[in-house]
Structures are given as C-alpha cells and as structure tokens.
Amino acid sequence: MTINSTEETSHVRARFGSDPNIRAVKVGPLTIGGGAPVVVQSMCSTDTRDLKATLAQTHRLVEAGCELVRVAVPDRDASAVLPDLVREAGVPIVADIQLHYQRALEAIAAGVAKVRINPGNIGSRDRVKAVVDAAGAAGVPIRIGVNSGSMPEDILERDNFKVTPQGLVDAAFREVQMLEEEGFRDIIVAMKASDVKCMVEANRTFRRRSDIPLHLGVTEAGLAGYGSIKSAAGIGALLLEGIGETIRVSLTAEPEEEIQAAWWILEATGVRRRSPELVSCPTCGRVEIDLIGLTKQVEEMLKGLDVPIKVAVMGCIVNGPGEARDADIALVGGKGKGLVMRHGEIVKSVKEEDLLQAFKVEFEKMVREMGM
C-alpha cells in the first residue's frame, strides 16, 4: 500500500523540534535551530562539474528524504555549474569550500543556501572578511567545519598531537570568534571525529558554552553496517540529550544509504518520525507462531505509509498484550490463535491462519479513519 502525504514535499513529518533556545539560522527555506525539526543532510559523491550526474544524485537523495545537499566546489569549473544546480536541485545546496576563498565568493554569487568553510585555511583575515561580507549581504549562513583530520597545528602540538574534545572545541571557537568579530552571527558549527567518545564530548562541551546550532556527525565512520552503528551511537547519544540541530551520517557508501541511516537514528531516538514505527518481540521458546514471517509481512504492508503510527507484532500471549498496549495497532500471536488490538483494546480474536488477514483489514480501516 502506498500512501502519499501532501503536507510536506520532503515526505517527512516532524514529531517535535530542536531546542527552542538555540539560535535560529535560515538555510534557504529551512530553519536550523530555534526549535525547528532536526534537518537531515548528505553530500554528493559525484564530480560537481558533471551537472547531469550531480543533479541525478541530488534528486535521488531528495527522494530518499534528504533535506539539504552539500557539494564539493574545488575549482572554477565546479563554481560555474552552481547556478544551474541551485535552480534545478529542488533542495537547498551547500557549497563545500576548502583552501580557496574565491570559491566561496563564487558559490555565494551563484545562490547557494549555505557555505561550509574552515576560516583558518582560506587565507588572510582580509579574505575571511570578504567571504563574511558577501555571505552577510546575501543572507547566506556559514558552517564552520572542524574535523579530527584537519586540526590546527598549534592545538595539536599543545595536546601532544592527539585529537581531544577540548581541542575540537577550541578550534571551533577560534573560527567562530573570527566571524563574530566581523559582526556575522548566522553560523552553524560541526565538530566531527572518527572516535565516537571524542565527538560526543566535544559537542556536549560546546553546547554548554554557546547557542550556535550544531551539525552532528561521526566522520570517517566506515562502511554502511558498522559505520551506521558508530553514527547511531554518537549522533543518537547527543540527540537524546537535546543536542544537535542537523545531522549527517558519513558512510563509505552511496549517499542514499546515509539518508536511510539518518532517519533510523532520528526515529529510534524519537526526535523525528516520517513513517510507522514497527516494534516486534525477540524470538524465544514461548513463540508458537511464525513470528519472523509475520513481522516481515507486516513490514511490507507498511511500506510507503507516511504517517507516524506505532505498530506492534508480538509472538505470544504471555507478554504480548501488555507490550502491545501503547501501539496504535497490534498483532499478538498465541497457540493456534491470535489477537488484533487497537490502542490496547482487543478488537478481534481469530484463528492463527486468519490472523494476518484480520490485521490487514483492521489496519486499512484505521488508515481510512485517519484520512490517509
């Protein structure tokens, strides 16, 4: 069953927003911070100079649920395609700038929604001021990116050439100070490390001292499997503490896989939900139905549904009814029979062979009642 929402073009829904006490920064039509929903973003892996390929990947990212797309801008040829990319992307575009301040000026002129820079590596204070002045005039925010792989040499030397949480924080505030001394406040900060504990503690420390929105991510997390778990551990821990206004799951994988993992993290932490939550009990010796098979069939039934409901599939009558009580709709198996429940109330008791069909009928009835 495919049910499309007309309320949000990104096909996502916010359950609740970020911390309203955090500074609100506008990124095109999006708001980051200020109580707005946590924003999901990724970065194109294409050569930006290949407009066709970059647009195609951007559109796939948007379809997957990405709300902000970053692209590398290493040279003038990449800058040259930005106006067309911005116009045709269907999502705000962020320009990733390294070393060359001219690329930042060109990106701002091209209409990007945000630029990502490290002020310390784009040259003299005059060059930083030129970027800040252009961004301020155009209403374009700046994301300061501090990574464990590109720390200032003096901070590394101070910390015995180890990347530390305090080192990341100090590097970030050094860059923030440079921008704020120029009167620029539309700032977002990212402090990323491949070490999860380091990344988490850096963001906690920064948040205690500043209301600047934070972009969360575990950098160089690895391949999709383990990398997603590392990202969930770091990003999820911070989100549960109310820290973080936008996230990227950085994987050695196709960018679309980053979006799936990002949404899983948001949904698992309860920060945002764009689809049904399916909960099912673990397998055990009390289970007397095909729990795995039923759960997979219910999961298939939920595909394409864009509504934040909770669905439970339970395998026995010992704990099933109790554990399914807070679900919007639930299927509870037993020996030779089963129950269909809605909001903790039993609505049907049927033979095991009729259980899935009875659940499907009640599920579709619920969806109709919700007007979806």
**Three state DSSP letters for 143-210:** EEEEEHHHCCHHHHHHCCCCCCHHHHHHHHHHHHHHHHCCCCCCEEEEEEECCHHHHHHHHHHHHHHC
Could you tell me if 174 and 223 lie in one domain?
A: yes
Q: Does residue 174 sit in the same domain as residue 92?
A: yes
Query: Which residue would you say has higher pLDDT here, 242 or 290?
Result: 242
In the prediction, which pLDDT does 16 show?
55
Show the beta-strand stretches assigned E in the chain. 25-27, 30-32, 39-43, 68-72, 93-96, 114-117, 142-147, 187-192, 214-216, 246-247, 277-280, 310-314, 329-333, 337-342, 345-351
Q: What is the DSSP letter of 119?
A: G
Alpha-carbon distance of 16 to 25, in angstroms, equals 18
Is the pLDDT confidence value at 258 over 60? Answer: yes
Tell me 3's DSSP state. B
Number of domains in the chain: 2
Going by the DSSP 8-state scheme, the letter that residue 49 receives in this structure is T
Instruction: In whole angstroms, give the CA distance from residue 206 to residue 132.
Output: 22
Same domain, 286 and 258: no
What pLDDT, in 10s, does the model give residues 12-60? 334 456 788 999 999 999 999 999 999 999 999 999 999 999 999 999 9
Cross-strand partners of 167: none
Rounded mean pLDDT, 5-10: 34
Tokens of 244: 């973080």
Domain termination site, one of 211, 243, 268: 268
Contact 209, 239 (CB under 8 A): no
In three-state secondary structure terms, 5 is coil
Q: Tokens representing 250?
A: 């950085």
**7 falls in which pLDDT band (50, 70, 90)?**
very low
Q: Which of 283, 299, 300 is nearest to 291 (CA)?
A: 283
User: Residue 249 belongs to what domain range?
Assistant: 25-268
Which of residues 217, 245, 268 is at a domain's end? 268
For the CA atoms of 338, 341, 344, 349, the dihedral, rounded to the nearest 10 degrees, stands at -50
Q: d(Cα 230, Cα 219) in Å, to the nearest integer?
A: 10
The token pair at 262 is 């990002």
CA distance linking residue 320 with residue 337, whole number of Å: 13
Please tell me whether residues 43 and 145 are part of one structural domain.
yes
What local confidence, expressed as pLDDT, does residue 372 receive? 63
- Answer yes or no: do 53 and 91 share one domain: yes
| Judgement on whether residues 191 and 93 belong to the same structural domain of the protein | yes
* pLDDT average, residue stretch 299-306: 85
The 10 Å Cβ neighbour count of residue 4 is: 10
Q: What percent of the chain has pLDDT over 70?
A: 95
The answer to whether the beta carbons of residues 13 and 306 sit under 8 Å apart is: yes
Those residues whose C-beta lies under 8 Å from the C-beta of residue 371, and which sit 6 or more positions away, are none
pLDDT at 57: 98
Q: Residues with Cβ < 8 Å from 361, sequence gap 6 or more?
A: none
Instruction: Quote the pLDDT of residue 321.
Output: 76
CATH assignment at residue 98: 3.20.20.20
Distance CA 366, CA 106 (A): 52
Q: What is the pLDDT of residue 335?
A: 79
pLDDT at 247: 98
pLDDT the model gives residue 5: 33
- Spatial distance between the Cα atoms of 114 and 98, rounded to a whole number of angstroms: 14
In a domain? residue 2: no
Predicted confidence (pLDDT) per residue in 78-123, tens digit: 999 999 999 999 999 999 998 899 999 999 999 999 999 886 777 7
Per the confidence metrics, is the pTM higher than 0.85?
Answer: yes
229 and 142 within one domain: yes
* Phi and psi angles of residue 38, each rounded to the nearest 5 degrees, phi first: -65, 130
pLDDT at residue 308, as a whole number: 80
- pLDDT value for 132: 95
pLDDT digits 0-9 by tens, 143-172 = 999 998 888 899 999 999 999 999 999 999
188 and 49 belong to one structural domain: yes
Chain mean pLDDT for the chain? 90
The residue among 238, 268, 298 that closes a domain is 268
Residues in Cβ contact with 154 at an 8 Å cutoff, skipping those fewer than 6 apart:
none
**Which residues, 6+ apart, have CB-to-CB distance to 175 below 8 Å?**
118, 119, 120, 144, 146
Judge if 244 and 308 occupy the same domain: no
